[in-house]
A and B are shown apart, each in its own frame.
Chain A
Amino acid sequence: MRNFNYHLARDVADAAAKIIASEDGKLMAGGMTLIPTLKQRLASPDDVIDLGAIAGLKGIAREGDEIVIGAMTTHAEVAASDIVRSAIPALAEMAGGIGDPAVRHRGTIGGSTANADPAADYPGGIVGLGASIVTNTRKIAGDEFFTGLFETALESGEIITQVRFPIPRKAHYLKFRHPASGYAVVGVMVARTASGVRVGVTGAGPSAFRASAFEAALSKDFNAGAIGNLELSADGLLNDIHFSGEYRAHVAGVFIRRCVAAML
């Protein structure tokens, strides 16, 4: 790891000022991706700005029909939260399946969301549940947040403060865990909401996306029969040494059906 200047941000405004002032800086949330990236010298920033001491970024609350999770809330806290478990058990389940217990004690929802790893779980949960991302400057719809491989709608100096999840009538998350890394080869979040059915898919493509044809069929009639022989197109899906795009598309279709069956 190359050396860098370490800055402990006092608050979000301080972190934003420091990241803007840095020529080549990185924000650090839980560090579960950043620190391994620094070790491999895939990134060698001049400045690392640590968000770890900003108390206002932690916590989980129910506000009306939404569950609001502070950006620096850890996966372990989301998984164990009574508020999340009673309102959106699928989200607690998803958070409890990220990495391993030690990683879940450090990794955060804001960090995972901002990093936008194609195989991370949170992007699938955010897109599938129709969550929105609140930053220090605005609110971004989850559908518009993940724009490509490790690419998001965040502007420079923009810092995630909250992720807000509307409470669905019911939801279910399933992932095909990569046996070595634990990352999602394919992860599927199916949600029944007041405005129809949502299907978020992570792991399969360069960024999380909605399976719209499945959503349309399931919104009309929520059962596996309604999907019929519908398949996800493999066009544009990830094709790597582990799994082909065709395989990922197939697994996504199977997992959507399994989610539906689990929700009936």
Chain B
Amino acid sequence: MPIAVKLTINGKEASANVEPRTLLVEMIREHLRLTGTHVGCDTTQCGCCVVHLDGKAVKSCTMLAVQANGRAVTTIEGLASPDGKLHPMQEAFREHHGLQCGFCTPGMVMMGVDIARRLPGADEKTVRQELEGNLCRCTGYQGIVNAILSVVNPGAVKAHH
């Protein structure tokens, strides 16, 4: 039996009739047509599907859509200003070449924003530990780590070679 789920997505009210088993990421991508959030592994490991639920990073492949009823969800599409100005974390990924193929990038950026919220001033080791649940199969971690570090702790960024 379909369930009506209402939530705030990127600041706007949205609703969809979903099945109990519909995952939050499926509602975001297929019902709300916001395809910036990716599904990499679908097993809670890769972090490509990370979104913010009431401001905290969660894996949207490991939540039912109905669990987000009445909550506020932010996806990668909600980070930039309406005039197109990038969020500082997005700008940092561009600046530090924090992406190669780009598939993991939405989750990496969303996790980067969460790390910046929780751990201002974090060192490189901490940033790497905090990326435990976000995998880049291009193995482009140095640029990703530098991008996040440049926001949370600019002095700790290693010089470009």
Q: Which of A16-24, A33-41, A184-192, A249-257 contacts B (4 or more CB under 8 A)?
A: A33-41
Partner of A35, one of B62, B115, B133: B62
Q: Which residues of B contact A36 (CB under 8 A)?
A: 43-44, 62
Q: For chain B residues 14-50, which have a beta carbon within 8 Å of chain A?
A: 19-21, 23, 42-44, 47, 50
Indicate whether A54 reaches chain B with its CB closer than 8 angstroms: no
Contact B62 A38 (CB under 8 A): no
Q: For chain A residues 159-200, which have a beta carbon within 8 Å of chain B?
A: 182
The size of the chain A interface, using a CB distance under 8 A, is 26
Closest chain B CB from A26 CB (angstroms):
12
Q: Which of B52-60, B93-101, B140-148 contacts A (4 or more CB under 8 A)?
A: B52-60
Contact B63 A3 (CB under 8 A): no
Once A100-B133, A101-B57 are accepted as A-B contacts, the answer to whether A106 and B62 lie under 8 Å apart by CB is yes
* Residue on B nearest A99 in the bound complex, by CB: B133
Which secondary structure characterizes the binding site on chain B? mixed
Closest chain B CB from A6 CB (angstroms):
4
Closest chain A CB from B108 CB (angstroms):
12
Indicate whether A120 reaches chain B with its CB closer than 8 angstroms: no
Q: How far is the CA of A5 from the CA of B20 in the complex (A)?
A: 7
Q: How far is the CA of A139 from the CA of B23 in the complex (A)?
A: 35
Q: Which residues of A contact B63 (CB under 8 A)?
A: 31, 35, 106
Q: Which residues of B contact A150 (CB under 8 A)?
A: none
Contact A102 B66 (CB under 8 A): no
Contact A38 B133 (CB under 8 A): no
Partner of A4, one of B21, B44, B57, B111: B21
Once A32-B44, A32-B62 are accepted as A-B contacts, the answer to whether A5 and B133 lie under 8 Å apart by CB is no
Closest chain B CB from A136 CB (angstroms):
22
Q: Which chain A residues have a beta carbon within 8 Å of chain B's beta carbons?
A: 1-6, 8, 31-32, 35-36, 38-39, 48, 50, 52, 76, 80, 99-103, 105-106, 182
